[in-house]
Amino acid sequence: MESSFWEILSKLIPLYGGIGLAIVSFVAATILPFSSEVALVFAIVSGLPPAEAVAWASLGNCLACVVNYGLGTWFYSRIETKIETSNLYSMIALKMQTWGHGILFFSFLPIVGDPITILSGFFRQRFSLFIAIVFTLRIVRYIFLAFGFL
């Protein structure tokens, strides 16, 4: 999968610039094994100005987080009658309501971050808080990467 990622990256970003970076960043925010951080660095090294690269990567990645939240909500609506009678679900749902937004502070991390955004929708966390925390952390991550390391 790694070689195909590089093939896609090496074609999308030079060919489409910021829009290509947004597409790669969108896909990277799903549970597919892509790296938006590598795509951001590649775009900047390929000549995309850092501020523009941060904007495009943030747009794609944050839109995908909204899609993930929606998928979680949709999935819950499909099985809610089956799980609402479950003691385990009731316990987890109660914990998510009391401390669940704190878990969103880990949503920018690789591997665990994207499933967290799906579970946020599944447990119907407040969308406005979801947006504020998830978008801020992901955008700050890109800013730090683009201007702190390069």
pLDDT tens digits, 78-121: 887 777 778 887 787 777 777 778 889 999 888 888 889 998 99
Q: Is the predicted pLDDT of residue 66 greater than 90, yes or no?
A: yes
Residues 146 and 90: their CA atoms lie apart, in Å, by 42
One-letter amino acid at 138 equals R
Residue-level pLDDT at 9 = 67
Residues 130 and 117: their CA atoms lie apart, in Å, by 8
All structural domains of the chain with their residue ranges: 2-149
Task: State the pTM of this model.
Answer: 0.84
Would you state the structure tokens that stand for residue 52, as one six-digit string?
């523009």
Residue-level pLDDT at 61 = 95
Q: Is the predicted pLDDT of residue 4 greater than 90, yes or no?
A: no
Would you state the structure tokens that stand for residue 65, as one six-digit string?
């987080």
Residue-level pLDDT at 150 = 58
Would you state the structure tokens that stand for residue 145, as one six-digit string?
């990467």
Q: Is the predicted pLDDT of residue 3 greater than 60, yes or no?
A: no
Residues 10 and 43: their CA atoms lie apart, in Å, by 9
Would you state the structure tokens that stand for residue 22, as one six-digit string?
């947004």
